[in-house]
Structure 1
Amino acid sequence: MASTPTEHPSTTSPFPTQQRPIPYSFVNGRRTPLSSILPPLIFGTATFNHQYNSDPFALDTTGLVTSALTHGIRAFDTSPYYGPSEQLLGEALATPFVRETFPRASYFILTKVGRISAEEFDYSPQWVRQSVACSLERLHTSYLDLVYCHDIEFVSPAEVVEAVMELRRMRDEEGTIRYIGISGYPIDVLGHVAELVLKETGEPLDAVQSYANFTLQNQTLAGPQGIQRLKNAGVDVVPNASPLGMGLLRRQGVPVGALGDFHPASRELRSAVREASNFCDRHGEKLEVIAIRFALETWISAGSIVGSKGDPASGVPWKQESNDDVGGAKLGVSVIGVSKPPELEKTMLVWRSILDGLEGGEETAVQAGRWYRAWEWSRNRRKAVQILAEGVQEILGDWFGYAWPSPSPGFVNQRKKHTKTMNDGEAPWLTPAASPEPKPLEGGEVVEERNLPLR
């Protein structure tokens, strides 16, 4: 269970003005549409996990979360499957500084149910309720803004429908959940289950989160079997997660944390990505810079039909910005994850530049006291990124648009629901003392986390 939150000094200056709440309401059985209030940039905390980092307890997670809030981020995505992520996020949000300055109603918490480990899934009503109760405790909150059924392709569609219905019962009877969705990788499975939920229950899903399906390497999510199919099934918002393809689209290759190399990309795909990285190097760019900017900037418009009018992160410390300030249109929603302060700072600079290139960006920059040519610079940067993105896609060849199988052939759910409970069925989290040291690779090189350069 989550430990008592520890106070971490976040600032020595007086508390700034208390931040305003997100305008959620529930009146006469009708709740505010998710697409009118969900922030279009969500901080993903899958990086607070042993898959991506050798020791997530050694990360400055409190500093990262606090800095994200001060830069305007108002939504955090997590999951019980992400090791200690919920615990670390909950402790960061429970510091006196955050509680005083950012009331609970001023930000979203998104988490998940159903996935327990790599080979264990439990979508039963009993486990759904137990999982939500534990998430509430770890996150030190009385309600969850959005709960996804996690990685639905690993269970049957009927199990997903059952879990969605149980989450809705909790929403309606207890008020501990506000919005409900599903998440996963295969586009066809997400579309089919969204349609099935609408058909079987008469109510569409609030959100469907897809990951690694709108990147430099794979843009299937924007196609007719992606967001258009989900839109037709009544889905309100489709967040695009993992714009770097779970770390595939990086010069140094896939991340290798304490759990080893978990990435499903084949050797041949990785080789093609290395060639694409060399191509970017020859033109004075880094692959991850082009990949992150392309995905964020392009999804803002490509994903707008299933986007949101929630207030965007301004990217500027202590500067609140509204959707009207950036043109007033729906923006495609993206989920980004970082592990270190420089990564967050650079991501915020990229995001600010992308916003400057939107409709009305010229006037917004002047009013905010930024450079009057910021809009022009953003538009020119977009053109340069687009040219290199097309070059990367040419190099990827047949690997462009490729999706790896999920689950792998022969997968069998190892969960025995009638004998497992949260206490005896869940592997214990590694404590700081038990966290493993970085493991040497063949040849003696030590695996270390590296900063993600962006601009």
Structure 2
Amino acid sequence: MKKVKLANDGFEASEISLGIMRMSSLSNEEAKKVITTALSSEIDYFDHADIYGAGSSEEVFGRAIKELEIPRDSVYIQSKAGIVPGKMYDFSKKHIIGAVESSLKRLQTDYLDAFLLHRPDTLVEPEEVAEAFDELEKTGKVRYFGVSNQNPMQIDLLKTAVQQPLIINQLQMSVTHHPMIDAGFNVNRVNDLAITRDGSILEYSRIHHMTIQPWSPFQVGNNKQGILFDHPDYQELNELLQNYANDRGVSREAIAIAWLLRHPANMQPIIGSMNPERIAAVCKASSVKLSREEWYEIYRAGSYPLP
């Protein structure tokens, strides 16, 4: 698998990462099979969050990694915190440090390669975040830092106090959900696609060398509309994806991921499957190179006309 460089001064990892949100539902043996399949497919980057399975996804992963005797320095482990489910978002120093320490215990490791702030907390005090990050870095518990679901102004607000580079931003994106691209195509037009909902986060990320990690890369949209494959609203798109898949001898899922990888923003998609066969199939996207014409054809097939 090809590598992606996470920010200019970051590190190189697999350009496709595995999200562990659903691992809490797996048995120990099932979890080990998922992890070994990912590693054999050359995925070395694993994404977690303290709320996934109420913490049990990290526990299952940590136990499986331990039993498989996988060297810690052969994989990258990332986690997120800041969501108190059903109550609030919390970027206080106490919550951040406590969340990281709890994740480390569940994952049975001494450090995280990356830690992200999960969703924006409007009560954030950048100085408190800075104190938390400084302590986590100084004690060796976190190596790199980033955010998730944040716009440029929210990131710049953090940067007024945080000294560490924020090298990652997780954002929802798929071949059917890409408002950050749509707004760029429709500048100076009075239609819905021209609405800038995220403050030009795509261009901001490229300028500031932040790696975008697209999450839910197979979902139709923000709401619970299901996955895009065989979705009745995207018949033309599915036919096109299948045609390209047949031509390359890969799956439709691999083509959908290849579409994200084709963008020069240097993205690192997060796939969330716990199906070993599907994981192996999706990873073939790393060897698929879409042309400019093919990329735009897929974009248009999703019922997104160019202005």
Whether these two folds match at TM > 0.5 is yes
Instruction: Determine which structure has the larger strand proportion and give its number.
Output: 2
TM tier, shorter chain? Answer: 0.7 to 0.9
In the alignment, what sits opposite 1:183? 148
Q: Is the partner of 1:94 in helix, strand or coil?
A: helix
In the alignment, what sits opposite 2:138? 173
Cα distance in 1, alignment partners of residues 242 and 74 from structure 2: 41
In the alignment, what sits opposite 2:4? none
Question: Is 2:265 the counterpart of 1:303?
Answer: yes
In the alignment, what sits opposite 1:69? 39
Q: Is the partner of 1:239 in helix, strand or coil?
A: strand
**Retained in 2: the 8 A contact 1:170–1:177?**
no
Alpha-carbon offset, residue 125 of structure 1:
1.7
**Retained in 1: the 8 A contact 2:254–2:285?**
no
**Retained in 2: the 8 A contact 1:62–1:91?**
no
Alpha-carbon offset, residue 284 of structure 1:
7.9
Cα distance in 2, alignment partners of residues 39 and 203 from structure 1: 26
Question: Equivalent residues in 2 for 1:139-288 (5 A)?
Answer: 139-152=107-120, 155-156=121-122, 158-159=123-124, 161-162=126-127, 164-184=129-149, 189-198=150-159, 200-201=160-161, 203=163, 205-213=165-173, 215-218=175-178, 220=180, 225-232=200-207, 234=208, 236-242=209-215, 244-245=217-218, 247-248=219-220, 264=223, 272-274=233-235, 276-277=237-238, 280=241, 288=253
Question: Equivalent residues in 2 for 1:412-423 (5 A)?
Answer: none
1:176 is aligned with what amino acid?
K
Give the number of equivalent residue pairs: 276
**Retained in 1: the 8 A contact 2:83–2:90?**
yes
Call closer, same or farther: CA 1:163–1:60 in 2, change over 3 Å. Answer: farther
Identity of aligned residues (%): 19
2:143 is aligned with what amino acid?
R
The two structures have a TM-score, normalised by structure 1, of 0.52
Alpha-carbon offset, residue 337 of structure 1:
2.5
In the alignment, what sits opposite 2:60? 88
Alpha-carbon offset, residue 215 of structure 1:
3.4
**Retained in 2: the 8 A contact 1:76–1:108?**
yes
Question: Equivalent residues in 2 for 1:351-370 (5 A)?
Answer: 351=286, 353-354=287-288
In the alignment, what sits opposite 1:418? none
Q: Is the partner of 1:196 in helix, strand or coil?
A: helix
In the alignment, what sits opposite 2:285? 350
**Retained in 1: the 8 A contact 2:254–2:282?**
no
Cα distance in 1, alignment partners of residues 142 and 85 from structure 2: 23
**Retained in 1: the 8 A contact 2:78–2:115?**
yes
Q: Is the partner of 2:113 in helix, strand or coil?
A: strand
Deviates more, 1:132-141 or 1:203-212: 203-212
Cα distance in 2, alignment partners of residues 121 and 220 from structure 1: 24
Call closer, same or farther: CA 1:160–1:181 in 2, change over 3 Å. Answer: farther
Match 1:115 to one of 83, 87, 92: 83
Alpha-carbon offset, residue 271 of structure 1:
5.2
Call closer, same or farther: CA 1:266–1:342 in 2, change over 3 Å. Answer: closer
Q: Is the partner of 2:52 in helix, strand or coil?
A: coil
Alpha-carbon offset, residue 56 of structure 1:
3.9
In the alignment, what sits opposite 2:106? 138
In the alignment, what sits opposite 2:270? 335
Call closer, same or farther: CA 1:165–1:283 in 2, change over 3 Å. Answer: closer
Call closer, same or farther: CA 1:72–1:106 in 2, change over 3 Å. Answer: same
Call closer, same or farther: CA 1:271–1:164 in 2, change over 3 Å. Answer: farther
1:193 is aligned with what amino acid?
Q
Alpha-carbon offset, residue 33 of structure 1:
6.2
Cα deviation per residue 1:305-324 (whole Å; 9 max; x = unaligned)?
xxxxxxxxxxxxxxxxxxxx
1:78 is aligned with what amino acid?
H
**Retained in 2: the 8 A contact 1:167–1:177?**
no
Alpha-carbon offset, residue 92 of structure 1:
1.7
**Retained in 2: the 8 A contact 1:149–1:160?**
no
The two structures have a TM-score, normalised by structure 2, of 0.74
Q: Which structure has the bigger radius of gyration?
A: 1
Indicate the RMSD between aligned Cα atoms, in angstroms. Answer: 3.5
Alpha-carbon offset, residue 398 of structure 1:
5.2
In the alignment, what sits opposite 1:104? 72
Cα distance in 2, alignment partners of residues 86 and 59 from structure 1: 15
Alpha-carbon offset, residue 114 of structure 1:
0.6
Alpha-carbon offset, residue 334 of structure 1:
2.9
In structure 2, stretches of 5+ residues that fail to align are 1-6, 185-198
